[in-house]
Each structure stands twice: as structure tokens, then as C-alpha cells.
């Protein structure tokens, strides 16, 4: 069995370092201190977390680097900003300051969409990810749905930089659109109006009043534009629902992530809109209300003139 090259020195064992780092992160209020300490150790040593079991003593240079990483994590920098990567389904996405770190909750939204897609399309579906961030949803759809043609819409210049980087690195068929979903029509999407099979979105959805309630990793490091959705949190959700209604073909599917307090309000929006059938709300893996879905009705026309997508 081979491990990283470790030299015996004064830095002590990895086990002792992990115990100290875990305690330091725990007292700093980090939610998963042991897991974070292990991931930082694996990152700094350039090995998988599973391989940590074969490491005995730490080389002094690694211990110094690890102490720096733990100090930053104890100041509540997100783990993913330290490693530069966020895992999402089968993807490792490049992330850092300026882009929202994809969350496990959103994996459930994509899972629902993948399971539902055969009811819309026999193959090669056209999919749109509104508010794409790092590209977690768009790239998952492009990677997991054979023949999918995927469009990713994002407004923020910094997020667009990360999105383009992840799309380029993946080699997957995702077209990036720089556009504001709250300001239709979106010229580059006009040709898709009425032809899209699936729209998925994880928009900003936290009510502005929650600003003092989020963890430091979120409030100080996720971009504000990725988080805050106006007084009731639903400003961008409303725009997403309206834009999706213009993009989807009859029978096409919509899935929108929402705050756990929106389990009644979000489906209520779709029902009141009149253009959606099969409206349902879904919990995440923790059992919290997390996303709403609906199917574009046939024959329920556009609500205003000049709406072209
Ligand atoms: C919660 S993050 C989700 C990112 C990604 N979909 C994910 O799940 O990781 C919301 C994203 O929406 C973008 N956004 C916010 N308002 C927008 C708007 N009006 N038009 C387009 N994108 C917007 C933000 O910049 C941010 O990248």
C-alpha cells in the first residue's frame, strides 16, 4: 500500500492533528468539525479522504499548511473556498469567492427532474437552468441526460466567470446566456419560446429579513445576489415562473427550489398563475419543504403581449 511521502518529524501524527483541528473547528461553531478537518487534511496531502487511514506522521511542512487552512476554516471561510471545489451529484465544480456553493438540497431537485423527464421527452430534451451559478444544475442535466441540449442563464458577472470555467472544463453541451430573468424578454432565449422540455431553477429565495440569521459561511461568503429574494423571498421565484411559462412547450416541466418556509406560497404562485397543471411541492432529504414542480398546461396562453422569452 502506498501513501503520501511522509517524513518523520516534529509535527506529530495525523490522528493527533485531526483531534486538535476538530476541537478547534467545533469551538469556532463549524457544523461538521471532524468531517471538515479530514477533508482539509486530504486536500493538503493530495490524497482522498479514504487514504487518510494510511497516514501516520505528518511532515512538518504539511502540518504548517494544515494549521493555516484550519485557521481560515475556524474564521468560517467555507470549506469549498479552501479546497476550490464543490461536489454536486457526479460533478466536482470549481468554486470560490463570487459564486454560490451548490447545496445537497439542489441535488434532490435535479433527481426529480431526471426521473420526470421521460414523461416529457423521448430523447434529446431541451433544458434550461435559470439562475445557473456555478452550473451545478445545467451541467448535471447535460452530463446525465443523453442528448440533452442545455441552456444556462445567469446575470452576475463573477458567477458567469465560474459558470463559463466549469462549462469549458466539462466539455458538455451547455450554452451560457448572460441575462436577467427578472427583465424579459431575453433576446438570446427568444428562439426557444414554447419549445423547451424542462426548466429547472434554484433562484435566490431567502426573505430579506433573514439577513441576520444565516451562518457566517453564507452571509459573508455566498454572493448576496445568490441569496436574497426580496421582502417575502419570492421576487425572483415569481420571475422564474413567468419566464418558464413562456419558454416551456405544452406538457413541459418546471422545478423551482424555494425556502423551507415557502411550501405553501410557492405552489400557491403556480396555482394562481393558471398556466400550470400537476402542481406539487416536494421535501428535501431532511424532510423540509424544498421545491415546487408543475407541468405547463396546453392552451393556457401568454398572459401579456410582447412576452417572447
Ligand atoms: C441560489 S444561487 C443558485 C446557483 C446554482 N443554480 C446552484 O444551485 O448552485 C442563485 C443564482 O442566481 C443568480 N441570479 C440572481 N438573480 C438573478 C437574475 N435576476 N437573473 C439571473 N440570475 C440571477 C445569482 O447570481 C446566483 O448565481
Which regions of the chain carry the CATH code 3.40.50.150?
Answer: 88-296
Global pTM reads 0.93
Residue 5 has pLDDT above 50, yes or no: no
Lowest mean pLDDT among 48-62, 152-166, 260-274: 48-62
pLDDT at 49 exceeding the cut of 70 = yes
Say which CATH topology domain 14-75 has: Helicase, Ruva Protein; domain 3 (1.10.8)
Three-state DSSP class for residue 287: coil
- Which distant-in-sequence residues (6+ apart) come within 8 Å of 57 by Cβ? 6, 7, 8, 9, 11, 12, 13, 14
Bridge partners of residue 149, in order along the sequence: 126
Instruction: Give the separation between CA 225 and CA 232, rounded to whole angstroms.
Output: 15
For residues 250 and 120, give the distance between their C-alpha atoms in angstroms, rounded to a whole number: 9
Residue 224: its pLDDT value, please? 97
Closest CA to 215 of 203, 201, 227, 204: 227
* Ligand 1 centre distance from Cα of residue 133 (Å): 5
Cα distances from 233 to residues 205, 238, 287, in angstroms, run 5, 10, 20
Give tens-digit pLDDT for 73-106.
999 999 999 999 999 999 999 999 999 999 999 9
pLDDT tier at 6 (50, 70, 90 boundaries)?
A: very low
CB 267 within 8 A of CB 280: yes
Q: Above 50 in pLDDT, residue 293?
A: yes
289-296 β-sheet, strand order: 174-178, 149-154, 126-130, 196-201, 248-257, 289-296, 276-283
Residue 10's pLDDT band, with cuts at 50, 70 and 90, is: low
Alpha-carbon distances, residue 120 vs 115, 123, 256, 267 (angstroms): 11, 9, 17, 21
Start-end ranges of CATH 1.10.8 in the chain? 14-75
Helices 33-45 and 14-27 sit at what angle, rounded to 10 degrees? 130
Q: State the DSSP H helix or E strand holding residue 247, giving kind and residue range, or none if neither.
A: helix 235-247
CATH of domain 88-296: 3.40.50.150
Q: Which residues are annotated as a binding site for S-adenosyl-L-methionine?
A: 154, 202
Q: Which residues are annotated as a binding site?
A: 154, 202-205
User: How far, in Å, from the CA of 90 to the mean position of ligand 1?
Assistant: 21
Q: Which residues line ligand 1 (CB under 6 A)?
A: 100, 102, 106, 131-134, 136-137, 153-156, 159, 180-182, 202-204, 225-226, 236
Amino acid at each position: 500500500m502506498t501513501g503520501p511521502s511522509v517524513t518523520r518529524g516534529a509535527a506529530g501524527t495525523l490522528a493527533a492533528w485531526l483531534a486538535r483541528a476538530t476541537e478547534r473547528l467545533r469551538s469556532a461553531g463549524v457544523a461538521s468539525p471532524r468531517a471538515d478537518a479530514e477533508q482539509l487534511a486530504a486536500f493538503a496531502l493530495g490524497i482522498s479522504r479514504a487514504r487518510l487511514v494510511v497516514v501516520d506522521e505528518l511532515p512538518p511542512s504539511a502540518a504548517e499548511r494544515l494549521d493555516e487552512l484550519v485557521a481560515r476554516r475556524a474564521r468560517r471561510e467555507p470549506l469549498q473556498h479552501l479546497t476550490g471545489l464543490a461536489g454536486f451529484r457526479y460533478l466536482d465544480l470549481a468554486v470560490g469567492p463570487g459564486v454560490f456553493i451548490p447545496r445537497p438540497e439542489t441535488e434532490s431537485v435535479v433527481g426529480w427532474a431526471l426521473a420526470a423527464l421521460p414523461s416529457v421527452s423521448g430523447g434529446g430534451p431541451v433544458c434550461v437552468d435559470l439562475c445557473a451559478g456555478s452550473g451545478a444544475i445545467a451541467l448535471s442535466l447535460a452530463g446525465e441526460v443523453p442528448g440533452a441540449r442545455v441552456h444556462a442563464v445567469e446575470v452576475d458577472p463573477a458567477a458567469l466567470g465560474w459558470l463559463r470555467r466549469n462549462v469549458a472544463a466539462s466539455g458538455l453541451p451547455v450554452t451560457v446566456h448572460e441575462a436577467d430573468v427578472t427583465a424579459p424578454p431575453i433576446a438570446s432565449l427568444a428562439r426557444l419560446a414554447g419549445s423547451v422540455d424542462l426548466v429547472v431553477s434554484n433562484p435566490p429565495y431567502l426573505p430579506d429579513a433573514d439577513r441576520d440569521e444565516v451562518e457566517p459561511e453564507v452571509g459573508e461568503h455566498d454572493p448576496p445576489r445568490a441569496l436574497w429574494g426580496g421582502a417575502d423571498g419570492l421576487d425572483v421565484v415569481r420571475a422564474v415562473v413567468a419566464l418558464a411559462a413562456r419558454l416551456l412547450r405544452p406538457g413541459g416541466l418546471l422545478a423551482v427550489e424555494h425556502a423551507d418556509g415557502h411550501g405553501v406560497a410557492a405552489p400557491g404562485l403556480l396555482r394562481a398563475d393558471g398556466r400550470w397543471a400537476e402542481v406539487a411541492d416536494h421535501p428535501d432529504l431532511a424532510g423540509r419543504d424544498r421545491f415546487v414542480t408543475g407541468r405547463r398546461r396546453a392552451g393556457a396562453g401568454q398572459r401579456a403581449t410582447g412576452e417572447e422569452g
